Amino acid sequence: MTFTEMFQSINYKTIVIATLLVGIFSAISCLGAWAHADGGNQLFVKLLYYSFYVCAFPFWYIFIGLNFINLSSAIIALTLNSIFYAFIIERLIWRFKMKKSIP
**pLDDT category, 77, cuts 50, 70, 90?**
confident
Four-residue CA torsion sign, 54, 56, 61, 64: negative
Q: Cα 22 from chain centroid?
A: 5
Tell me what the mean pLDDT of segment 54-71 comes to: 78
Distance CA 66, CA 62 (A): 6
Share of the chain above pLDDT 70, in %: 89
The answer to whether the CB of 66 falls within 8 A of the CB of 74 is: no
The answer to whether the CB of 94 falls within 8 A of the CB of 11 is: yes
Predicted confidence at residue 17, as pLDDT, reads: 93
Predicted confidence at residue 16, as pLDDT, reads: 93
Tell me what the mean pLDDT of segment 62-76 comes to: 78
Tell me what the mean pLDDT of segment 80-84 comes to: 91
**pLDDT category, 101, cuts 50, 70, 90?**
low
Predicted confidence at residue 21, as pLDDT, reads: 94
Distance CA 16, CA 13 (A): 5
Check pLDDT > 70 for residue 85.
Answer: yes
Phi-psi bin for 52: left (phi > 0), alpha (psi -120 to 50), beta? Answer: alpha
